[in-house]
Amino acid sequence: MTRIVQLRRGILEKNDEYAASLRARFTSAGVTVSNWVSSPGTGKTALLEAVLVAAGDRGVAAGALVGDCATDNDARRLARSGAPVRQIVTESMCHLEADMVGKHLDDVDLAGLDLLVIENVGNLVCPTAYDLGEDLRVALLSVTEGEDKPAKYPALFHSADVVVITKMDIADAVEWDRPAAVAALTAVNPTAPVLFTSARTGAGVDELLDLLRSTRPREAS
Amino acid sequence: MTRIVQLRRGILEKNDEYAASLRARFTSAGVTVSNWVSSPGTGKTALLEAVLVAAGDRGVAAGALVGDCATDNDARRLARSGAPVRQIVTESMCHLEADMVGKHLDDVDLAGLDLLVIENVGNLVCPTAYDLGEDLRVALLSVTEGEDKPAKYPALFHSADVVVITKMDIADAVEWDRPAAVAALTAVNPTAPVLFTSARTGAGVDELLDLLRSTRPREAS
């Protein structure tokens, strides 16, 4: 196993280097970048669509880069918002890496954007170790997923700068236990703000957009 | 990347060898084994609990092996059914491998079981390539996850012997589009039977138990 651990460490170090250069590129363009990570089916794309539409309504120039193992369904769906959207098809890859992000931004006018959202592949484990040069890592969790997910997948939730609860409109229907969910989140990450949202009703969408906008691009290290 | 591809191939070949020996062990013990794979939050554990209780009621000896990155929450929850349950804590590992399964079965009386369910780590990508010696691979998908998940994660759904839809009790509340979901499944896997279940109402639980029981242990190759 030692060879594999060494190889993996080498991949992560290369990713960190590439992510640092991406972060410098984002900072110099003045675009705030968030990396959205969740389980498949949490509703990342639906919420992202709502955020892109809200951004358009408020004159905020927002774009998105969406990762999936297969299909460009999400990019086509998000393009309805009018925002610039690029799809990364990862094939059998279970997460995005910084160089994949960089390559897909070559034809994007980053300086013309205020916000860029990177929607990672739906996966609560593998994306955790890969910095994409983002200013904010956003972990999303839906009310249908079980309140103890942060305890079961602690690494991701620990690494999040913001936690977004999705599908609040069906919280009652699924008997979601809000205190239990918040307690599980706080146990692994006591500092990240938690937003409660619904793409269907629009709850929390403006608040999320405000939070994404108020984050200044991180200084390149 | 070639070294990584070669290493990965080596890992998969070793896993296949180990899985073949596990399959022989299961066949000789006369236990039917299924490997349940889904996104985190699909409701694998809730449905498994319902299946274990139904098995107990019907005099079927069933056991479970549950994988999670952290916590033994699921094993403790499932133990309420009275069935023998073992937890595999995978740490940062995003899937189960055959040797992990084998090691956790050393103190389990396989010959005393009719059914063994292996609940994989919640992940729609990484478990796909790892044979665990199972007779049946069961892919689960909840009505809250978006009807196009099979198109976005085709490898897993293509490899499934059975597809189980979960959380049917809230299908209307989330406006689940059944024809769209079935069409997406059929496109990647035209032959696997599809069961519609709800752990909360018990719908489909007996049907799933019947299906798991009717599968004879696969002949060791």
Number of residues that this document lists for chain B: 221
Q: Which of B4, B6, B39 to mutate to test the interface with A (most CBs of A within 10 A)?
A: B39
Domain edges within chain B: 2-214
Query: Strands A62-68 and B32-37: what pairing?
Result: unpaired
- Helix count and strand count (H, E) for chain A: 8, 7
The pLDDT tens digits of the residues spanning A108-126 come to 999 999 999 999 999 999 9
Are the Cβ atoms of A151 and B42 closer than 8 angstroms? Answer: no
Q: What would you measure as the largest C-alpha separation in chain B, in angstroms?
A: 53
Residues 162-191, chain A, touching B (beta carbon < 8 A): 167, 170, 173-174
Residue-wise pLDDT for A133-178, tens only, equals 999 999 999 999 989 999 999 999 999 999 999 999 999 999 999 9
Q: Do B11 and A4 touch (CB under 8 A)?
A: yes
pLDDT tier for residue A218 given thresholds of 50, 70 and 90: low
Scanning chain A, the segments in alpha helix (DSSP H) are 2-29, 44-57, 73-79, 98-103, 149-152, 154-159, 178-188, 205-214
Residues A84-103 have a mean pLDDT of 93
User: How buried is residue A13: exposed, middle or buried, by Cβ count under 10 Å (0-12/13-18/19+)?
Assistant: exposed
Which of B3, B99, B119, B125 is the mutation pick for testing A, counting most A CBs within 10 A?
A: B125
Residue B180, helix vs strand vs coil: helix
pLDDT at residue A9 in the model: 83
pLDDT score at B216: 67
Which among A39, A71, A126 has CB closest to B39? A39
> What CATH topology corresponds to A2-214?
Rossmann fold (3.40.50)
- Contact B141/B43 with Cβ under 8 angstroms? no
Which residues on chain B are in Cβ contact (under 8 Å) with A7?
3-4, 7
Mean predicted confidence (pLDDT) in B3-11:
78
For chain B, say whether A11 makes contact (Cβ under 8 Å). Answer: yes
* A111 inside 8 A of chain B by CB: no
A158: left (phi over 0), alpha (psi -120 to 50) or beta: alpha
Chain B residues within 8 A of A70 when measuring between CB atoms: 151-154
* Chain B neighbors of A93, CB-CB under 8 A: 125
Give percent of chain A above pLDDT 70. 95
Residue with tokens 């193992």: A69
What count of CB pairs under 8 Å joins A to B? 121
Inter-chain CB proximity A144 and B170 less than 8 Å: yes
Q: What is the mean pLDDT of residues A58-63?
A: 96
* B180 vs B183: CA distance, rounded Å: 5
Of residues B1 and A48, more confidence is placed in A48
CB-nearest partner of A73 from B11, B70, B148: B148
- Residues in chain A with CB shorter than 8 Å from the CB of B40 are 39, 124, 145-146, 149, 152-153
How many angstroms away from the CA of A65 is the closest CA of chain B? 16
Please tell me the distance from the alpha carbon of residue A98 to that of residue A133, in angstroms, as a whole number.
7
DSSP-based helix, strand, coil % in chain B, nearest 5: 45, 15, 40
Q: Specify the pTM.
A: 0.91
Q: How far is CA B137 from CA A161, B38, B100, B152, in A?
A: 36, 11, 17, 19
Instruction: Check pLDDT > 50 for residue A221.
Output: no
Q: Which residues of B touch A72 (CB under 8 A)?
A: none
Percent of chain A past pLDDT 90, that is, above it, reads: 89
Q: Which chain B residues are within 8 Å of A124, Cβ to Cβ?
A: 40, 122-123
Contact B144 A148 (CB under 8 A): no
Q: Bridge-partner residues for A114, per DSSP?
A: none
Q: Which residues of B touch A3 (CB under 8 A)?
A: 7
